[in-house]
Chains A and B, each alone.
Chain A
Amino acid sequence: GIQVEQSPPDLILQEGANSTLRCNFSDSVNNLQWFHQNPWGQLINLFYIPSGTKQNGRLSATTVATERYSLLYISSSQTTDSGVYFCAAEYSGGGADGLTFGKGTHLIIQP
C-alpha cells in the first residue's frame, strides 16, 4: 500500500513563529487530507488537498502531486495550535487501504 511519511516528528516553537510541516507519499493519490488532533482525540479537518494550494486564515497547504509531497504552513502560531498534525492519503489506483496516515508531527507552541 501507499506509504506516508511526515516530518519533523516534533516541533517546538514560540508563539508568533511560522512553521512548515511536510508530508511525503509514495504513490499517486486521489485524496490527501491534513488534520489537527486535539488533546481529546478529535481529528479536525484542515484541508482536503490532493493537488494545488489552499488557504484558510493563518493556515495554508500546498500539494505537488507530481513530486508526491504536501506542505502545511502555519503562520503567526498561537498556543491553541499545539497538538498533533496528521497527513493522510488514499492511493488513486484503487485497492483496499482507505486513508493511510503518517505518524504525525507533534507541535508545541510555547507562550
Chain B
Amino acid sequence: DAGVTQSPTHLIKTRGQQVTLRCSPKSGHDTVSWYQQALGQGPQFIFQYYEEEERQRGNFPDRFSGHQFPNYSSELNVNALLLGDSALYLCASSYPRLAGLQETQYFGPGTRLLVL
C-alpha cells in the first residue's frame, strides 16, 4: 500500500521564479492538503483540495495556488518566489469528511524549497 509521495525532494530557485510541487495521495484517499513548514516551526495549512476544487484555504497570498487532477494527485504552484518562501512543503491526504470515515491525515516526506 503506497503512502503519500511527493516530488521533487529538494529544489533550489531564485527570487521571482515560479515553482511547481507535486503530490500523490495515499491509496484510497481523495482529499489532499498542503502545508508549509518554516525552519523551527510547526506546519501551517495552505489549502485543501477535494473533487478537484479548493475546499479550504489558510492565510496565504494568491501567489500560492493549486490544482487537483481526476486521479486525486495534486500540484502546488508558487509564483514570484520570495526568500521567505524557503521552507519544507508537506502534502497530506485523507478521506473526505462527508464520507463519515476517520479524518486522519497522512503526510508525505515533503519537498525542501530553497529560494536564493
Interface residues of A (CB under 8 A from B): 30-31, 33, 35, 40-43, 45, 48, 86, 88, 90, 95-104
Contacts and interface: CB of A to CB of B under 8 A. Distances in A.
A48 B48 contact: no
A102 B103 contact: no
A99 B33 contact: yes
Interface of B: 33, 35, 37, 41-45, 47-48, 56-58, 88, 90, 92, 97, 102-107, 109-110, 112
Q: Label chain B's interface by main secondary structure.
A: strand
Contact of B56 (A42, A45, A88, A96): A96
Given A42-B110, A43-B90, A104-B42, A97 B104 contact: no
Contacts of B112: 41
Given A43-B90, A96-B56, A97-B56, A102 B42 contact: yes
B105 A33 contact: yes
B33 A103 contact: no
A42 B43 CA distance: 12
